[in-house]
Structure 1
Amino acid sequence: MAVARRLGAMMKTTAVRLSALYLVLFSVCAVLLVVYMTSLAASFFVGETRRAVEGEIESLSSVYARGGMRSLVVAIDRRSRAPGAFVYLVADPRGRIIAGNVEDLEPGVLDSRGWVPQPFYYQKYRDGRPGAAAPRAIGHVTRFDNGLRVLVGRDLAEPQLLRLIVRRSVALALGLMALGGLLIWFFVGRRALRRIDAVSAASDDIVAGDLGRRLPVSAANDEFDRLSVSLNTMLARIETLNNGLREVSDSIAHDLKTPLTRLRNRAEDALRKDPGQAGYRDALEDMIAEADHLISLFNAMLLISRVEAGYTRFTPQPVDLAAVAAELAELYEPLVEDAGGRLENAVAGPLVVEGNRELIGQAVTNLIDNAIKYGLAAPGGVVRLEGRRDEVARRVELAVCDTGPGIAEADRARALRRFERLDESRSRAGSGLGLSLVDAIQRQHGGTLRLEDNDPGLCAVLSFPAPASPD
C-alpha cells in the first residue's frame, strides 16, 4: 500500500507527467516515422520488382518473336530451374500446368489479363521437389491465340522480410524505451518528490511562525534551486519587514507615549487651573505644536513605509548631484550661520546619477538637518558637502560631513533603525526617523548610506551606482 501511495504521489508530480508526455509523443512519432519509412521502402522494392518483371517479359517476348511458342516454352523451362529464378508458369486453356516452377497457384490468377490486380499466393518447385508456400508474388499474365497462358512474376519475400525486421526492431526499441521511461519516472519522480517534501516541511515551519527558516537548496542549480533561491530572497525580505514592523510597533509605543502624555497633561492642566483666555491660548498653541510634531512623525513613518514597500515607483531620470547640492547649500547657508557655524559646498559637477530628484533632495535635506542639529554643538563648527566619482567601483557619491561629536562605529548600524536615538541625542528634539528615511531612499535607488568618521565629526555618504554613460 505504501508503494502504491508513493507511486500515486509520483504520478501527480510535474516531472513525471512531463516525462510520460514526452515518452508518449516520442513513441507516437517514432512509430509513425517507422511505418512511413517501412511503407516507403516496401513500395520501392515492389516497384523495382515490377520493373524487373517487365524486363523479363520483354526478354521472353523477343524469344517468342524469334522461335515461336516452342522456343518460349523451352526458354521458360530452362530459366525456371536457375537459382533465384522468377515465377514462371505456362498453362493450357484448361489451366493445366505445362511448364514452369509453380506447382500450385491461387485460384483466379490465370483469369486475369495483364498485371494481376493483387499479390497472390503460390507454391513453388525447388530443385524438383515441392517446397513451402512462398509469401506472395506479383505477376503478369499473357494470353495467346491458341489459349495458352503464360505467367511471369516475382515473389515479395524481400519486402515482407524487410517489414518483419523493421517491426521487430521497432517493438524491441519501444520496449526498451518504455522500460527506460519507467526507470526515469521512478528515480526522477522519487527525487522530485523528496525535494517537494522538503520544501513542504520548510513551508510548514514558516507558516507556524519560524520566519528564519529557508527552503532547501541543492548543488544541482536546477529550476527547483532557482525557485528556492527566489523564494528565500522573498522570505528574507518578509522577515526584514516583519522585524521592522515589530520594531516600529515597539518604538511607537515607546516614543509616542511621551508627546501624547505631554499633550494630555497640558490640556488637563489648563482645565484644572483655569488660567484665563491668555492661558488657554498658550495651552492650545502648545498642543498644536505637539500635534504638528506627531503629524510630521507619522508623515515620516508613512514615507519610509511607502519607499520600502516600493509604492513610490518612479521612472529613473538623470539627476545632477552637484546641482542638488548647490541648491540646498544656498537654502541652508543662513540656517547654519544662525546656528554658529558655516556651510561649505565642495561638490564640483557634473555628478550625474539615475533616480528621482525629489527623493534624493529629501535624503540630502535630512542629512544637512542632522548635521546642523548634532554637528554644530560648539560654535565654529563646519558642515561640508563633498562629491566624488569612483571609476573603479563605478560609484557616484555625495557626502555631508560635520565636525561634531560623531557616532561611535559600534552604534552606526543601530543609528539607521527607525526610532533609534542614541543616548547622547536623547536630550535633543527629534524622532529618530531621519537616517531611516535616507537609508530607505538609497535602497530604492540601488545605492547605500554609509556613516564614516570625519575625525572629528561624522560623514554621511550617499553612494549611487554610476549610470551606464557618464553623459
Structure 2
Amino acid sequence: MTARAKLLRTSTFRLAALYLILFAVSVAALLGYVYLNTAVLLQEQTDYTIQAEVQALSDQYQLRGLSGILDTVQRRSADDTGSVYLLAAPAGQRIAGNLDDLPTVPKEDSSWIEFPLQVQKGAVRENHVARAFYTVLPGGFKLIVGRDVESLRQFATIIRQSILYALAIALVLGLGGGLLMSRNFLRRVDAITDASRSIMAGNMSGRMPVSGSNDELDRLALALNEMLEQIESLMGAMKEVSSNVAHDLKTPLTRIKARVEAALRSGSEAEYRAALENTVDESDRLLDTFNALLSIARAEAGQARSGLVAVDVSELIADVAELYEPMAEEEGGTLTASAAPGLQVQGDRQLLAQALTNLLDNALKYGARDGETPRITLTGTRDDDKVVITVADHGAGIPEADRSRVTERFVRLDESRSKPGNGLGLSLVSGVMKLHKGTLMLEDNAPGLRARLVLPTGRE
C-alpha cells in the first residue's frame, strides 16, 4: 500500500472529511437561505415600488386625463434614477417616456415583464435588464413602469460566486488540514507500530514513543509502556526464579545422589536406611520450596481474589499466637500477642495465616542476638480505614539498604545463610499482601526488625 493510500485510509482523515462535508453542507444551507431571502426581499421591494408608481399614475390619469399622466411621465423620465417609463398610444406608438419603443408585452391587460435594456454609460452603451409592470389604461393607452434591475442581478451573482468560492476554500483548507492531521497521526501510529515490532523481535527494553502532548495517543503509549514494564519485570523475575530454582535445587539433589551412591557402595542395611531417611528429609525440603513458589505465584497472580471473605483478624492473631507460644518457649524466649477487638478484613484466611507464620518463623530464627533469647510481640491495631498487624523482634534486624531486596525470591542475607531456609518466606508475605491490596513494611525496631502488614478493611 502506498503512503498516499495509507494516508487516505486513516480514521483521522475519514473523520476530518466527514466533518468537512457536514460543515460544507451546513454553510451552503445557511448562505443559500440568506441569499434567497435577500434576493426575494430586494425583488419584492422593487415590485412594491413599481406597483406604487403604477397606481399613482393610474390615479392621475383618471383625475387629470392624458395631459396629467403625460406631464408626470415626461418629468420622471428626465431623472436618471434607474426607472423606466413608457406611455404609448393604443396602436403602440411612443407618446412619452425614456424607452424608445414598446417591448414585447403579454396579451393580458396587466402583467410583469422583463426585457433587455441598453443604458448609456459615458461613451459606452451597456446591456442591462429591466423589470416592469405593463398595464392598459382606459382608452387603450399602454403604460409601462419599471426599474433597471441589472445591479440587483449583479448583486445576486456576486453572492452566488461568494458562496461557491467560500465552499471551495473551505474544501481545500479542510482537505489540507485533514491530510496534515492524518499525516501526523499516521506518523505517530507508524512509530508505535515500529516499536511494537521491535519488541516482538525480542527487544524487551523498547518502549512506545511519547510526544509529550498528553493526547489520547500519548495516554495509550503510556499505558502500553506501563504494561511492557510489568511484562519485562515479570519475565526478569521468571528468569531469576528459574536460575535460582536450578541453583538451589542442584545442591540438595547432589547430596541425595551422593548419599544414595555411598549407601549402595557400603552394602550396609543401616546405611540404606540412613540414606532413605535423609532422602525423605531432603525431599520434604524440596516440596516445601515448590509449595512456597506455587503459593507466591497464585498470590501474585490474584487468582484467588474473587474468593475473599470477611476474616476476623483478632481471632486469627489469637490462633497463630496460641500455636507459636510453645515454640517460642522451647527456644527460651517469649511471644506476646494482643489485638484490638473486632478487626476485620476481606481476605483469604489461610494465606493471611501463612504470611503471619512466615514472619513468626523468621522472628524465631533471627529475632535474638547472640547469647539472648527471642522476644517477639504480635499485635493487631486499627489505623483509620486500615488494619495493621505487626510482628516485632529484638534481633539483628535488616539493614535499610537490604529491606526492599529481601522480599525477592531466594534472597538470603549473609547473616542468615547458616540457618535453614530457602529465601521464600518474605516473598510469600509480599505476594499475599499484593493479593489483598495491602503493604508489607519492614522497619527498624531499635534493636531488631518490625514487620507491619497494612491491610484495607474492604469496606466501601
**TM-score in terms of structure 2 length:** 0.80
Show the 5 A alignment for 1:147-296: 147-157=140-150, 159-178=152-171, 180-181=173-174, 184=177, 188-189=181-182, 191-261=184-254, 293-296=285-288
CA deviation after TM superposition for structure 1 residue 428, in Å = 3.8
Matched residue type, 2:434: R
CA deviation after TM superposition for structure 1 residue 241, in Å = 0.5
Pick which of 212-221 and 173-182 moved more: 173-182
Matched residue type, 2:293: M
Q: Does residue 21 of structure 2 align to residue 30 of structure 1?
A: no
SS at match of 2:303: coil
Aligned to 1:52: 49
CA deviation after TM superposition for structure 1 residue 401, in Å = 1.3
Cα 1:384–1:143 shift into 2, 3 Å:
same
SS at match of 1:414: coil
Q: Would you say the 8 A contact 1:91–1:150 is kept in 2?
A: yes
Question: How many pairs were matched up?
Answer: 459
Partner deviation per Cα, 1:214-255 (whole Å, 9 max, x = no partner): 223233222232222111111111110010110111122122
SS at match of 1:32: helix
Aligned to 1:307: 299
Aligned to 1:120: 114
Aligned to 1:64: 61
Q: Would you say the 8 A contact 1:121–1:136 is kept in 2?
A: yes
Aligned to 2:328: 336
CA deviation after TM superposition for structure 1 residue 451, in Å = 1.9
Show the 5 A alignment for 1:40-119: 40-103=37-100, 107=104, 109-116=105-112
Aligned to 2:363: 371
Partner deviation per Cα, 1:428-450 (whole Å, 9 max, x = no partner): 44332221122223334444322
CA deviation after TM superposition for structure 1 residue 418, in Å = 1.3
Matched residue type, 1:62: D
Match of 1:298 among 290, 295, 301: 290
SS at match of 2:206: coil
SS at match of 1:461: strand
Matched residue type, 2:441: R
Pick which of 140-149 and 241-250 moved more: 140-149
Measure, in 2, the Cα distance between the counterparts of 1:244 and 1:39.
75
CA deviation after TM superposition for structure 1 residue 70, in Å = 4.5
Measure, in 2, the Cα distance between the counterparts of 1:356 and 1:166.
78
Q: Would you say the 8 A contact 2:109–2:136 is kept in 1?
A: yes
Matched residue type, 2:106: L
Partner deviation per Cα, 1:163-207 (whole Å, 9 max, x = no partner): 333334334444544554466456555544554454344334423
Matched residue type, 2:392: C
SS at match of 1:256: helix
Measure, in 1, the Cα distance between the counterparts of 2:135 and 2:348.
98
Measure, in 2, the Cα distance between the counterparts of 1:265 and 1:171.
96
Measure, in 1, the Cα distance between the counterparts of 2:130 and 2:288.
101
Cα 1:128–1:273 shift into 2, 3 Å:
closer
Aligned to 1:404: 395
Partner deviation per Cα, 1:51-87 (whole Å, 9 max, x = no partner): 3333334333432332345534443443344343544
Q: Would you say the 8 A contact 2:86–2:143 is kept in 1?
A: yes
Show the 5 A alignment for 1:139-150: 139-144=132-137, 146-150=139-143
Match of 2:404 among 413, 418, 423: 413
Measure, in 2, the Cα distance between the counterparts of 1:408 and 1:178.
70
SS at match of 1:413: coil
Cα 1:251–1:76 shift into 2, 3 Å:
same
Percent of matched pairs sharing the same residue: 41
Cα 1:144–1:187 shift into 2, 3 Å:
closer
CA deviation after TM superposition for structure 1 residue 15, in Å = 4.1
Measure, in 1, the Cα distance between the counterparts of 2:330 and 2:159.
100
SS at match of 2:376: strand
Measure, in 2, the Cα distance between the counterparts of 1:205 and 1:136.
76
Q: Would you say the 8 A contact 2:331–2:374 is kept in 1?
A: no
Partner deviation per Cα, 1:241-277 (whole Å, 9 max, x = no partner): 010110111122122334455666677778888887x
Q: Does residue 428 of structure 2 align to residue 437 of structure 1?
A: yes
In the alignment, structure 2 segments of 5+ residues that lack a partner are: none
Cα 1:315–1:165 shift into 2, 3 Å:
farther
Match of 2:126 among 109, 128, 132: 132
Measure, in 2, the Cα distance between the counterparts of 1:356 and 1:112.
102
Measure, in 1, the Cα distance between the counterparts of 2:99 and 2:457.
95
Pick which of 218-227 and 80-89 moved more: 80-89
SS at match of 2:452: strand
Q: Would you say the 8 A contact 2:301–2:435 is kept in 1?
A: no
Match of 2:452 among 457, 461, 470: 461
Cα 1:214–1:349 shift into 2, 3 Å:
farther
Cα 1:232–1:99 shift into 2, 3 Å:
same
In the alignment, structure 1 segments of 5+ residues that lack a partner are: none
Cα 1:414–1:141 shift into 2, 3 Å:
same
SS at match of 1:380: coil
